[in-house]
Structure 1
Protein backbone atom coordinates (compact mmCIF):
# COMPACT_ATOMS: atom_id res chain seq x y z
CA UNK A 1 0.00 0.00 0.00
CA UNK A 2 1.65 3.22 -1.19
CA UNK A 3 2.00 5.93 1.45
CA UNK A 4 3.13 9.53 1.45
CA UNK A 5 6.76 10.06 2.39
CA UNK A 6 5.74 11.34 5.83
CA UNK A 7 3.60 8.32 6.63
CA UNK A 8 6.20 5.90 5.26
CA UNK A 9 8.84 7.45 7.53
CA UNK A 10 6.53 6.97 10.51
CA UNK A 11 5.96 3.32 9.55
CA UNK A 12 9.69 2.72 9.08
CA UNK A 13 10.41 4.21 12.50
CA UNK A 14 7.72 2.05 14.08
CA UNK A 15 9.36 -1.07 12.65
CA UNK A 16 12.58 -0.23 14.50
CA UNK A 17 11.12 0.37 17.96
CA UNK A 18 12.57 -1.60 20.88
CA UNK A 19 10.31 -3.54 23.24
CA UNK A 20 10.48 -2.58 26.91
CA UNK A 21 8.54 -3.54 30.02
CA UNK A 22 6.98 -0.07 29.95
CA UNK A 23 5.69 -0.73 26.44
CA UNK A 24 4.16 -4.05 27.54
CA UNK A 25 2.53 -2.31 30.49
CA UNK A 26 1.06 0.38 28.25
CA UNK A 27 -0.28 -2.13 25.74
CA UNK A 28 -1.88 -4.33 28.41
CA UNK A 29 -3.96 -1.39 29.63
CA UNK A 30 -5.16 -0.84 26.03
CA UNK A 31 -6.08 -4.46 25.29
CA UNK A 32 -9.53 -5.60 24.17
CA UNK A 33 -9.10 -9.24 25.19
CA UNK A 34 -11.02 -11.03 22.46
CA UNK A 35 -12.50 -14.40 21.60
CA UNK A 36 -14.72 -14.64 18.52
CA UNK A 37 -14.36 -18.30 17.62
CA UNK A 38 -17.08 -20.55 16.25
CA UNK A 39 -16.67 -22.94 19.16
CA UNK A 40 -16.93 -20.36 21.96
CA UNK A 41 -19.19 -21.27 24.88
CA UNK A 42 -20.44 -19.63 28.07
CA UNK A 43 -17.62 -21.36 29.92
CA UNK A 44 -14.95 -20.08 27.53
CA UNK A 45 -16.44 -16.58 27.83
CA UNK A 46 -16.20 -16.82 31.63
CA UNK A 47 -12.60 -18.00 31.31
CA UNK A 48 -11.81 -15.05 29.05
CA UNK A 49 -13.24 -12.67 31.64
CA UNK A 50 -11.14 -14.29 34.36
CA UNK A 51 -8.03 -13.70 32.24
CA UNK A 52 -8.95 -10.01 31.88
CA UNK A 53 -8.06 -9.36 35.52
CA UNK A 54 -4.35 -10.02 35.24
CA UNK A 55 -1.55 -9.96 37.84
CA UNK A 56 -0.27 -6.84 36.05
CA UNK A 57 -3.64 -5.07 36.12
CA UNK A 58 -6.90 -5.21 34.19
CA UNK A 59 -7.23 -4.99 30.43
CA UNK A 60 -9.39 -2.27 28.88
CA UNK A 61 -12.21 -4.55 27.71
CA UNK A 62 -13.26 -8.05 26.77
CA UNK A 63 -14.84 -8.62 23.36
CA UNK A 64 -17.23 -11.55 22.94
CA UNK A 65 -20.07 -12.68 20.70
CA UNK A 66 -23.39 -10.95 21.41
CA UNK A 67 -24.83 -14.15 22.90
CA UNK A 68 -22.18 -14.03 25.64
CA UNK A 69 -22.57 -10.38 26.68
CA UNK A 70 -24.79 -11.27 29.66
CA UNK A 71 -22.28 -13.90 30.74
CA UNK A 72 -19.41 -11.42 30.54
CA UNK A 73 -21.37 -8.75 32.37
CA UNK A 74 -22.07 -11.12 35.26
CA UNK A 75 -18.48 -12.43 35.33
CA UNK A 76 -16.99 -8.91 35.44
CA UNK A 77 -19.53 -7.28 37.74
CA UNK A 78 -17.77 -4.49 39.61
CA UNK A 79 -14.52 -4.83 37.61
CA UNK A 80 -13.02 -1.87 35.69
CA UNK A 81 -13.26 -3.77 32.38
CA UNK A 82 -15.62 -2.77 29.56
CA UNK A 83 -17.81 -5.30 27.73
CA UNK A 84 -17.51 -5.11 23.94
CA UNK A 85 -19.27 -7.13 21.28
CA UNK A 86 -19.56 -7.28 17.49
CA UNK A 87 -22.39 -6.65 15.04
CA UNK A 88 -22.56 -7.12 11.27
CA UNK A 89 -19.64 -9.46 11.89
CA UNK A 90 -17.60 -10.66 10.11
CA UNK A 91 -19.02 -10.40 6.59
CA UNK A 92 -20.47 -6.89 6.87
CA UNK A 93 -23.58 -7.82 4.91
CA UNK A 94 -26.48 -7.32 7.33
CA UNK A 95 -29.13 -4.66 6.79
CA UNK A 96 -29.25 -1.41 8.73
CA UNK A 97 -32.39 -2.60 10.52
CA UNK A 98 -30.74 -5.88 11.52
CA UNK A 99 -27.66 -4.07 12.82
CA UNK A 100 -29.74 -1.60 14.82
CA UNK A 101 -31.76 -4.43 16.38
CA UNK A 102 -28.65 -6.44 17.22
CA UNK A 103 -27.01 -3.37 18.71
CA UNK A 104 -30.00 -2.55 20.91
CA UNK A 105 -30.19 -6.15 22.12
CA UNK A 106 -26.48 -6.22 22.99
CA UNK A 107 -26.77 -2.97 24.92
CA UNK A 108 -29.79 -4.29 26.80
CA UNK A 109 -27.68 -7.32 27.77
CA UNK A 110 -24.94 -5.05 29.14
CA UNK A 111 -22.57 -4.15 26.30
CA UNK A 112 -20.57 -0.95 26.77
CA UNK A 113 -18.99 -0.96 23.31
CA UNK A 114 -20.15 -2.07 19.86
CA UNK A 115 -17.65 -3.08 17.15
CA UNK A 116 -19.58 -2.81 13.86
CA UNK A 117 -18.26 -3.93 10.48
CA UNK A 118 -18.49 -1.39 7.69
CA UNK A 119 -20.18 -2.97 4.64
CA UNK A 120 -16.75 -2.90 3.07
CA UNK A 121 -17.48 -4.97 -0.01
CA UNK A 122 -20.34 -2.63 -0.93
CA UNK A 123 -18.12 0.39 -0.24
CA UNK A 124 -15.31 -0.96 -2.42
CA UNK A 125 -17.84 -1.65 -5.19
CA UNK A 126 -18.81 2.02 -5.20
CA UNK A 127 -21.80 2.17 -2.88
CA UNK A 128 -21.80 4.99 -0.36
CA UNK A 129 -25.35 5.50 0.85
CA UNK A 130 -26.01 1.99 2.19
CA UNK A 131 -22.76 1.71 4.18
CA UNK A 132 -23.26 5.17 5.68
CA UNK A 133 -26.89 4.48 6.52
CA UNK A 134 -25.93 1.26 8.28
CA UNK A 135 -23.32 3.00 10.40
CA UNK A 136 -25.74 5.79 11.21
CA UNK A 137 -28.36 3.25 12.27
CA UNK A 138 -25.81 1.63 14.57
CA UNK A 139 -24.79 5.03 15.95
CA UNK A 140 -28.42 5.90 16.69
CA UNK A 141 -28.95 2.55 18.39
CA UNK A 142 -25.81 3.09 20.50
CA UNK A 143 -27.03 6.45 21.74
CA UNK A 144 -24.73 8.77 23.63
CA UNK A 145 -23.40 6.41 26.28
CA UNK A 146 -22.16 3.44 24.22
CA UNK A 147 -18.93 3.46 22.22
CA UNK A 148 -19.12 2.59 18.50
CA UNK A 149 -15.97 1.18 16.91
CA UNK A 150 -16.17 0.86 13.10
CA UNK A 151 -14.26 -2.08 11.62
CA UNK A 152 -13.01 -1.01 8.20
CA UNK A 153 -11.52 -4.39 7.14
CA UNK A 154 -8.52 -2.52 5.79
CA UNK A 155 -6.92 -5.57 4.18
CA UNK A 156 -9.74 -5.78 1.64
CA UNK A 157 -9.14 -2.29 0.25
CA UNK A 158 -7.30 -2.18 -3.09
CA UNK A 159 -5.79 1.29 -2.69
CA UNK A 160 -4.96 3.79 0.05
CA UNK A 161 -7.23 6.57 -1.21
CA UNK A 162 -10.29 4.34 -0.93
CA UNK A 163 -9.35 3.26 2.60
CA UNK A 164 -8.86 6.89 3.62
CA UNK A 165 -12.26 7.70 2.14
CA UNK A 166 -13.88 4.88 4.12
CA UNK A 167 -12.20 6.13 7.30
CA UNK A 168 -13.50 9.65 6.75
CA UNK A 169 -17.02 8.38 6.00
CA UNK A 170 -17.00 6.26 9.16
CA UNK A 171 -16.01 9.31 11.19
CA UNK A 172 -18.81 11.31 9.55
CA UNK A 173 -21.25 8.54 10.51
CA UNK A 174 -20.33 8.85 14.17
CA UNK A 175 -17.46 6.41 14.81
CA UNK A 176 -15.80 6.72 18.21
CA UNK A 177 -12.93 4.49 17.05
CA UNK A 178 -11.72 3.27 13.69
CA UNK A 179 -10.60 -0.37 13.76
CA UNK A 180 -8.36 -2.03 11.20
CA UNK A 181 -9.80 -5.51 10.79
CA UNK A 182 -12.11 -8.35 11.73
CA UNK A 183 -9.12 -10.68 11.86
CA UNK A 184 -11.04 -13.09 9.62
CA UNK A 185 -9.35 -12.25 6.28
CA UNK A 186 -5.76 -11.89 5.10
CA UNK A 187 -4.12 -9.46 5.31
CA UNK A 188 -5.48 -8.26 8.61
CA UNK A 189 -3.88 -5.32 10.41
CA UNK A 190 -0.87 -3.68 8.77
CA UNK A 191 1.19 -0.68 9.79
CA UNK A 192 0.56 0.96 6.42
CA UNK A 193 -3.22 0.76 6.87
CA UNK A 194 -2.89 1.94 10.46
CA UNK A 195 -0.93 4.99 9.30
CA UNK A 196 -3.69 5.94 6.85
CA UNK A 197 -6.37 5.48 9.50
CA UNK A 198 -4.41 7.52 12.05
CA UNK A 199 -3.98 10.26 9.44
CA UNK A 200 -7.76 10.39 8.90
CA UNK A 201 -8.26 10.54 12.67
CA UNK A 202 -5.82 13.45 12.86
CA UNK A 203 -7.86 15.31 10.25
CA UNK A 204 -11.12 14.82 12.14
CA UNK A 205 -12.74 17.80 13.82
CA UNK A 206 -13.72 15.70 16.83
CA UNK A 207 -11.95 13.07 18.98
CA UNK A 208 -11.78 9.62 17.37
CA UNK A 209 -9.81 6.63 18.62
CA UNK A 210 -7.88 3.88 16.84
CA UNK A 211 -8.00 0.10 17.29
CA UNK A 212 -5.44 -2.29 15.81
CA UNK A 213 -6.79 -5.80 15.42
CA UNK A 214 -5.87 -8.89 13.45
CA UNK A 215 -2.69 -10.92 13.77
CA UNK A 216 -1.10 -8.92 16.62
CA UNK A 217 0.27 -11.75 18.74
CA UNK A 218 3.40 -10.45 20.48
CA UNK A 219 4.63 -7.37 22.28
CA UNK A 220 6.95 -6.37 19.44
CA UNK A 221 4.06 -6.17 16.97
CA UNK A 222 1.92 -4.19 19.40
CA UNK A 223 4.85 -1.90 20.20
CA UNK A 224 5.15 -0.97 16.53
CA UNK A 225 1.51 0.16 16.38
CA UNK A 226 1.85 2.04 19.63
CA UNK A 227 5.00 3.81 18.39
CA UNK A 228 3.19 4.67 15.16
CA UNK A 229 0.34 6.24 17.13
CA UNK A 230 2.84 8.12 19.30
CA UNK A 231 4.62 9.41 16.22
CA UNK A 232 1.54 10.52 14.30
CA UNK A 233 -0.74 11.65 17.14
CA UNK A 234 1.69 12.59 19.92
CA UNK A 235 3.35 10.70 22.80
CA UNK A 236 0.54 11.38 25.29
CA UNK A 237 -2.37 10.58 22.97
CA UNK A 238 -2.61 6.82 23.50
CA UNK A 239 -4.95 5.99 26.40
CA UNK A 240 -7.82 3.47 26.65
CA UNK A 241 -10.08 6.28 25.42
CA UNK A 242 -8.08 6.63 22.19
CA UNK A 243 -6.18 3.41 21.42
CA UNK A 244 -7.09 -0.28 21.71
CA UNK A 245 -5.60 -3.59 20.61
CA UNK A 246 -7.96 -6.42 19.71
CA UNK A 247 -6.33 -9.78 20.45
CA UNK A 248 -6.33 -12.84 22.67
CA UNK A 249 -2.92 -14.50 22.33
CA UNK A 250 -1.20 -11.16 22.90
CA UNK A 251 -2.03 -11.19 26.61
CA UNK A 252 0.35 -13.99 27.58
CA UNK A 253 3.18 -12.36 25.61
CA UNK A 254 2.62 -9.11 27.49
CA UNK A 255 2.53 -10.88 30.84
CA UNK A 256 5.73 -12.75 30.04
CA UNK A 257 7.48 -9.48 29.24
CA UNK A 258 6.26 -8.15 32.58
CA UNK A 259 7.63 -11.15 34.47
CA UNK A 260 4.37 -13.05 34.96
CA UNK A 261 3.55 -16.62 34.00
CA UNK A 262 1.17 -17.18 31.06
CA UNK A 263 -2.47 -17.58 31.99
CA UNK A 264 -3.99 -20.64 30.35
CA UNK A 265 -7.67 -20.96 29.55
CA UNK A 266 -10.02 -22.49 27.02
CA UNK A 267 -10.21 -19.10 25.31
CA UNK A 268 -6.50 -18.49 25.00
CA UNK A 269 -4.61 -18.29 21.75
CA UNK A 270 -7.42 -18.17 19.20
CA UNK A 271 -9.37 -14.86 19.06
CA UNK A 272 -7.98 -12.39 16.56
Structure 2
Protein backbone atom coordinates (compact mmCIF):
# COMPACT_ATOMS: atom_id res chain seq x y z
CA UNK A 1 0.00 0.00 0.00
CA UNK A 2 1.34 3.50 -0.76
CA UNK A 3 2.15 5.62 2.26
CA UNK A 4 -0.48 8.13 1.18
CA UNK A 5 -3.32 7.58 -1.27
CA UNK A 6 -2.38 9.57 -4.41
CA UNK A 7 -5.73 11.39 -4.39
CA UNK A 8 -4.78 12.92 -1.03
CA UNK A 9 -1.08 13.65 -1.57
CA UNK A 10 -1.59 17.41 -1.29
CA UNK A 11 -3.46 17.01 1.98
CA UNK A 12 -0.35 15.80 3.80
CA UNK A 13 2.08 18.27 2.23
CA UNK A 14 2.06 20.53 5.29
CA UNK A 15 0.68 20.81 8.79
CA UNK A 16 -1.72 23.53 7.67
CA UNK A 17 -3.03 21.52 4.72
CA UNK A 18 -3.59 18.47 6.91
CA UNK A 19 -5.36 20.54 9.56
CA UNK A 20 -7.63 22.15 6.97
CA UNK A 21 -8.55 18.75 5.55
CA UNK A 22 -9.25 17.10 8.90
CA UNK A 23 -11.27 20.03 10.22
CA UNK A 24 -13.09 20.20 6.90
CA UNK A 25 -14.53 16.71 7.32
CA UNK A 26 -18.29 16.72 7.91
CA UNK A 27 -19.22 17.08 11.56
CA UNK A 28 -20.63 13.99 13.25
CA UNK A 29 -24.35 13.94 14.02
CA UNK A 30 -24.09 12.55 17.55
CA UNK A 31 -27.79 11.80 17.94
CA UNK A 32 -28.00 10.14 14.54
CA UNK A 33 -24.85 8.08 15.04
CA UNK A 34 -25.89 6.77 18.45
CA UNK A 35 -29.46 6.11 17.30
CA UNK A 36 -28.28 4.08 14.29
CA UNK A 37 -25.83 2.07 16.42
CA UNK A 38 -28.58 1.36 18.95
CA UNK A 39 -31.05 0.39 16.23
CA UNK A 40 -28.65 -2.04 14.58
CA UNK A 41 -27.93 -3.51 18.00
CA UNK A 42 -31.54 -4.69 18.27
CA UNK A 43 -31.32 -6.96 15.22
CA UNK A 44 -32.25 -10.54 16.11
CA UNK A 45 -29.90 -13.30 14.94
CA UNK A 46 -31.21 -16.84 15.47
CA UNK A 47 -30.30 -20.52 15.02
CA UNK A 48 -28.27 -21.17 11.85
CA UNK A 49 -27.34 -17.52 11.45
CA UNK A 50 -26.27 -17.37 15.09
CA UNK A 51 -24.09 -20.46 14.71
CA UNK A 52 -22.44 -18.88 11.66
CA UNK A 53 -21.95 -15.60 13.52
CA UNK A 54 -20.35 -17.34 16.51
CA UNK A 55 -17.85 -19.20 14.32
CA UNK A 56 -17.11 -16.02 12.38
CA UNK A 57 -16.51 -14.09 15.60
CA UNK A 58 -14.14 -16.77 16.93
CA UNK A 59 -12.15 -16.61 13.71
CA UNK A 60 -11.84 -12.82 14.08
CA UNK A 61 -10.43 -12.73 17.61
CA UNK A 62 -7.01 -11.35 18.43
CA UNK A 63 -6.67 -13.38 21.64
CA UNK A 64 -4.78 -11.04 23.91
CA UNK A 65 -2.61 -11.00 27.02
CA UNK A 66 -0.98 -7.68 27.84
CA UNK A 67 -0.13 -7.86 31.52
CA UNK A 68 3.04 -7.16 33.46
CA UNK A 69 2.81 -10.68 34.89
CA UNK A 70 2.85 -12.41 31.48
CA UNK A 71 5.22 -15.38 31.34
CA UNK A 72 6.36 -17.62 28.47
CA UNK A 73 4.20 -20.40 29.95
CA UNK A 74 1.08 -18.21 29.95
CA UNK A 75 1.72 -17.14 26.36
CA UNK A 76 2.24 -20.73 25.21
CA UNK A 77 -0.99 -21.77 26.95
CA UNK A 78 -2.86 -18.93 25.24
CA UNK A 79 -1.42 -19.98 21.87
CA UNK A 80 -2.57 -23.57 22.49
CA UNK A 81 -6.06 -22.31 23.28
CA UNK A 82 -6.12 -20.13 20.18
CA UNK A 83 -5.12 -23.06 17.99
CA UNK A 84 -7.61 -25.47 19.58
CA UNK A 85 -10.26 -23.41 21.38
CA UNK A 86 -12.54 -26.35 22.22
CA UNK A 87 -10.72 -29.69 22.56
CA UNK A 88 -14.10 -31.48 22.63
CA UNK A 89 -15.02 -30.17 19.18
CA UNK A 90 -12.31 -29.99 16.53
CA UNK A 91 -14.66 -28.16 14.14
CA UNK A 92 -14.25 -25.02 16.25
CA UNK A 93 -12.42 -22.34 14.24
CA UNK A 94 -9.01 -21.08 15.27
CA UNK A 95 -8.58 -17.47 16.32
CA UNK A 96 -7.03 -14.92 13.97
CA UNK A 97 -4.03 -13.90 16.08
CA UNK A 98 -2.39 -13.97 19.48
CA UNK A 99 -1.56 -10.46 20.69
CA UNK A 100 1.36 -10.00 23.13
CA UNK A 101 4.08 -7.58 24.17
CA UNK A 102 7.20 -7.50 21.95
CA UNK A 103 9.31 -9.53 24.37
CA UNK A 104 6.81 -12.40 24.06
CA UNK A 105 6.51 -12.32 20.26
CA UNK A 106 9.23 -14.92 19.72
CA UNK A 107 7.63 -17.28 22.22
CA UNK A 108 4.26 -16.90 20.49
CA UNK A 109 5.81 -17.37 17.05
CA UNK A 110 7.38 -20.68 18.08
CA UNK A 111 4.19 -21.90 19.77
CA UNK A 112 2.03 -21.06 16.74
CA UNK A 113 4.28 -22.59 14.08
CA UNK A 114 2.20 -24.40 11.49
CA UNK A 115 -1.17 -23.17 12.78
CA UNK A 116 -1.69 -20.24 10.42
CA UNK A 117 -2.46 -18.00 13.40
CA UNK A 118 -0.79 -14.59 13.26
CA UNK A 119 1.42 -13.10 15.96
CA UNK A 120 0.33 -9.55 16.79
CA UNK A 121 2.52 -7.39 18.98
CA UNK A 122 1.75 -4.05 20.57
CA UNK A 123 4.50 -1.48 20.17
CA UNK A 124 5.43 2.24 20.22
CA UNK A 125 5.52 2.47 24.03
CA UNK A 126 2.10 0.84 24.46
CA UNK A 127 -0.29 1.83 26.00
CA UNK A 128 0.55 5.50 26.65
CA UNK A 129 2.74 6.12 23.62
CA UNK A 130 4.88 8.52 25.66
CA UNK A 131 8.33 7.95 24.21
CA UNK A 132 10.65 9.52 21.67
CA UNK A 133 10.23 8.36 18.07
CA UNK A 134 13.57 6.45 17.96
CA UNK A 135 12.45 4.47 21.01
CA UNK A 136 9.10 3.70 19.40
CA UNK A 137 10.75 2.56 16.18
CA UNK A 138 13.17 0.35 18.11
CA UNK A 139 10.14 -1.20 19.84
CA UNK A 140 8.63 -1.99 16.44
CA UNK A 141 11.92 -3.28 15.07
CA UNK A 142 12.31 -5.67 17.99
CA UNK A 143 8.78 -7.03 17.56
CA UNK A 144 9.14 -7.54 13.81
CA UNK A 145 12.55 -9.20 14.17
CA UNK A 146 11.03 -11.54 16.80
CA UNK A 147 8.48 -12.72 14.26
CA UNK A 148 5.46 -10.44 14.69
CA UNK A 149 3.15 -10.58 11.68
CA UNK A 150 1.16 -7.57 12.85
CA UNK A 151 2.05 -4.44 14.82
CA UNK A 152 -0.54 -2.65 16.97
CA UNK A 153 0.81 0.89 17.52
CA UNK A 154 -0.63 3.67 19.64
CA UNK A 155 -0.79 7.24 18.41
CA UNK A 156 0.50 10.16 20.47
CA UNK A 157 -2.85 11.36 21.81
CA UNK A 158 -1.24 14.42 23.39
CA UNK A 159 0.07 15.54 20.02
CA UNK A 160 -3.26 14.81 18.31
CA UNK A 161 -5.32 16.68 20.91
CA UNK A 162 -2.89 19.61 20.68
CA UNK A 163 -3.55 19.81 16.96
CA UNK A 164 -0.10 18.58 15.90
CA UNK A 165 -1.59 16.34 13.24
CA UNK A 166 1.46 16.25 10.99
CA UNK A 167 3.59 14.92 13.85
CA UNK A 168 1.13 12.07 14.41
CA UNK A 169 0.96 11.42 10.67
CA UNK A 170 4.74 11.30 10.33
CA UNK A 171 5.06 8.88 13.28
CA UNK A 172 2.57 6.50 11.68
CA UNK A 173 4.41 6.75 8.35
CA UNK A 174 7.72 5.97 10.09
CA UNK A 175 6.24 2.97 11.92
CA UNK A 176 4.69 1.71 8.68
CA UNK A 177 8.11 1.94 7.02
CA UNK A 178 9.64 -0.05 9.89
CA UNK A 179 7.02 -2.77 9.38
CA UNK A 180 7.94 -2.94 5.69
CA UNK A 181 6.45 -5.94 3.96
CA UNK A 182 6.86 -8.14 7.04
CA UNK A 183 3.99 -6.93 9.20
CA UNK A 184 0.59 -5.30 8.81
CA UNK A 185 0.04 -2.15 10.86
CA UNK A 186 -2.92 -1.53 13.17
CA UNK A 187 -3.15 2.05 14.43
CA UNK A 188 -4.77 2.48 17.86
CA UNK A 189 -6.51 5.80 18.59
CA UNK A 190 -7.60 5.24 22.19
CA UNK A 191 -11.03 6.61 21.36
CA UNK A 192 -11.93 6.97 25.04
CA UNK A 193 -9.31 9.72 25.32
CA UNK A 194 -10.23 11.57 22.11
CA UNK A 195 -13.35 13.01 23.79
CA UNK A 196 -15.47 13.70 20.70
CA UNK A 197 -16.82 11.82 17.71
CA UNK A 198 -15.38 14.51 15.45
CA UNK A 199 -11.92 13.68 16.82
CA UNK A 200 -12.49 9.96 16.19
CA UNK A 201 -13.43 10.70 12.58
CA UNK A 202 -10.34 12.89 12.15
CA UNK A 203 -8.07 10.27 13.72
CA UNK A 204 -9.54 7.61 11.43
CA UNK A 205 -8.74 9.62 8.32
CA UNK A 206 -5.32 10.58 9.66
CA UNK A 207 -4.43 6.93 10.26
CA UNK A 208 -5.65 5.84 6.85
CA UNK A 209 -3.82 8.64 5.04
CA UNK A 210 -0.61 7.61 6.81
CA UNK A 211 -0.83 4.01 5.60
CA UNK A 212 -2.60 2.06 8.37
CA UNK A 213 -3.73 -1.42 7.36
CA UNK A 214 -6.21 -1.41 10.26
CA UNK A 215 -7.65 1.31 12.46
CA UNK A 216 -8.30 0.21 16.04
CA UNK A 217 -10.42 1.76 18.76
CA UNK A 218 -8.55 1.19 21.96
CA UNK A 219 -5.80 -0.33 24.06
CA UNK A 220 -8.21 -1.86 26.56
CA UNK A 221 -6.33 0.00 29.28
CA UNK A 222 -8.70 2.97 29.83
CA UNK A 223 -12.23 3.31 31.16
CA UNK A 224 -13.98 3.67 27.78
CA UNK A 225 -12.92 1.29 25.02
CA UNK A 226 -14.79 -0.08 22.00
CA UNK A 227 -18.43 0.98 21.74
CA UNK A 228 -20.95 0.44 18.93
CA UNK A 229 -21.10 4.17 18.07
CA UNK A 230 -17.34 4.73 17.85
CA UNK A 231 -16.90 1.51 15.86
CA UNK A 232 -19.76 2.47 13.53
CA UNK A 233 -18.06 5.83 12.95
CA UNK A 234 -14.77 4.12 12.06
CA UNK A 235 -16.57 1.70 9.74
CA UNK A 236 -18.14 4.65 7.94
CA UNK A 237 -14.67 6.18 7.59
CA UNK A 238 -13.14 3.08 5.99
CA UNK A 239 -16.17 2.78 3.69
CA UNK A 240 -15.76 6.37 2.51
CA UNK A 241 -11.98 6.02 2.19
CA UNK A 242 -12.35 2.97 -0.05
CA UNK A 243 -14.96 4.73 -2.16
CA UNK A 244 -12.53 7.59 -2.81
CA UNK A 245 -9.24 5.69 -3.10
CA UNK A 246 -10.03 2.05 -3.83
CA UNK A 247 -7.94 1.09 -0.78
CA UNK A 248 -9.55 -1.22 1.80
CA UNK A 249 -8.68 -0.69 5.47
CA UNK A 250 -9.52 -3.03 8.33
CA UNK A 251 -11.22 -2.15 11.63
CA UNK A 252 -10.52 -3.59 15.08
CA UNK A 253 -12.70 -2.75 18.08
CA UNK A 254 -10.85 -3.70 21.26
CA UNK A 255 -11.59 -3.70 24.97
CA UNK A 256 -14.91 -4.29 26.71
CA UNK A 257 -16.37 -6.81 24.23
CA UNK A 258 -17.01 -9.79 26.48
CA UNK A 259 -20.19 -11.57 25.39
CA UNK A 260 -21.51 -13.33 22.31
CA UNK A 261 -24.38 -10.87 22.22
CA UNK A 262 -21.92 -7.98 22.09
CA UNK A 263 -19.85 -9.60 19.34
CA UNK A 264 -22.90 -10.26 17.17
CA UNK A 265 -23.95 -6.61 17.51
CA UNK A 266 -20.59 -5.59 16.10
CA UNK A 267 -20.88 -8.07 13.23
CA UNK A 268 -24.28 -6.57 12.35
CA UNK A 269 -22.63 -3.13 12.31
CA UNK A 270 -20.04 -4.43 9.86
CA UNK A 271 -22.55 -6.12 7.58
CA UNK A 272 -24.90 -3.15 7.46
CA UNK A 273 -22.22 -0.46 7.11
CA UNK A 274 -19.43 -1.84 4.92
CA UNK A 275 -20.84 -5.17 3.78
CA UNK A 276 -19.55 -8.68 3.23
CA UNK A 277 -16.12 -7.57 2.00
CA UNK A 278 -15.22 -6.83 5.63
CA UNK A 279 -16.79 -9.97 7.12
CA UNK A 280 -13.48 -11.82 7.28
CA UNK A 281 -10.56 -11.75 9.70
CA UNK A 282 -8.50 -10.19 6.93
CA UNK A 283 -10.44 -6.96 7.49
CA UNK A 284 -12.19 -7.15 10.86
CA UNK A 285 -10.91 -8.25 14.25
CA UNK A 286 -11.98 -8.27 17.87
CA UNK A 287 -9.32 -7.38 20.42
CA UNK A 288 -10.33 -9.53 23.37
CA UNK A 289 -9.18 -11.73 26.21
CA UNK A 290 -12.43 -13.06 27.69
CA UNK A 291 -14.78 -12.97 24.68
CA UNK A 292 -13.64 -16.37 23.40
CA UNK A 293 -14.90 -18.20 26.51
CA UNK A 294 -18.44 -16.87 26.13
CA UNK A 295 -18.47 -17.67 22.40
CA UNK A 296 -17.40 -21.24 23.19
CA UNK A 297 -20.10 -21.67 25.82
CA UNK A 298 -22.78 -20.37 23.45
CA UNK A 299 -21.44 -22.60 20.67
CA UNK A 300 -21.64 -25.65 22.95
CA UNK A 301 -25.21 -24.72 23.88
CA UNK A 302 -26.25 -24.58 20.23
CA UNK A 303 -24.73 -27.98 19.50
CA UNK A 304 -25.83 -29.83 22.65
CA UNK A 305 -28.91 -27.92 23.80
CA UNK A 306 -27.32 -27.43 27.21
CA UNK A 307 -25.51 -24.48 28.69
CA UNK A 308 -22.25 -25.95 30.00
CA UNK A 309 -21.07 -22.96 32.03
CA UNK A 310 -17.61 -21.45 32.58
CA UNK A 311 -16.11 -24.54 34.23
CA UNK A 312 -16.07 -26.21 30.81
CA UNK A 313 -13.71 -23.70 29.19
CA UNK A 314 -10.16 -22.91 30.13
CA UNK A 315 -9.35 -20.04 32.45
CA UNK A 316 -7.01 -17.60 30.70
TM-score by length of 2: 0.80
- Matched residue, 2:282: 241
Matched, 1:82 2:118: yes
* Alpha-carbon separation, structure 2, partners of 1:126 and 1:249: 36
- Matched residue, 1:111: 148
Q: Identify the structure with bigger relative contact order (alpha carbons < 8 Å, sequence gap 6+).
A: 1
* Alpha-carbon separation, structure 1, partners of 2:217 and 2:252: 6
The structure with the largest strand share of the pair is 1
- Matched residue, 1:10: 36
Q: How many residues of Structure 1 are paired with residues of Structure 2 in the alignment?
A: 266
TM-score by length of 1: 0.92
* Alpha-carbon separation, structure 2, partners of 1:218 and 1:17: 16
1:196-240: per-residue Cα shift (whole Å, max 9, x none)?
A: 111111121211000010111111111111111111101342111
- Matched residue, 2:55: 25
* Alpha-carbon separation, structure 1, partners of 2:32 and 2:237: 14
Gapped runs of 5+ residues in structure 2? 1-26, 87-91, 302-307
Sort the Cα spacing of 1:256 and 1:174 in 2 relative to 1 into closer, same or farther, 3 A.
Answer: same
The answer to whether the 8 Å contact 1:97/1:137 transfers is no
Q: CA RMSD in A?
A: 1.8
Matched, 1:164 2:201: yes
1:100-144: per-residue Cα shift (whole Å, max 9, x none)?
A: 211111111110000000111220122112211211111000012
By how many angstroms is 1:161 displaced? Answer: 1.3
Matched, 1:151 2:169: no
* Alpha-carbon separation, structure 2, partners of 1:217 and 1:194: 16
By how many angstroms is 1:164 displaced? Answer: 0.7
1:84-106: per-residue Cα shift (whole Å, max 9, x none)?
A: 00012100222222222111111
SS at match of 1:58: coil
- Matched residue, 1:50: 80
- Matched residue, 2:138: 101
The answer to whether the 8 Å contact 1:84/1:111 transfers is yes
Matched, 1:264 2:309: no
Give every structure 1 segment of 4 or more consecutive aligned residues whose post-TM-superposition deviation is greater than 6 Å. Answer: none
- Matched residue, 1:197: 234
Alignment partner for residue 232 of structure 1, among 259, 268, 273? 273
The structure number with the bigger radius of gyration is 2
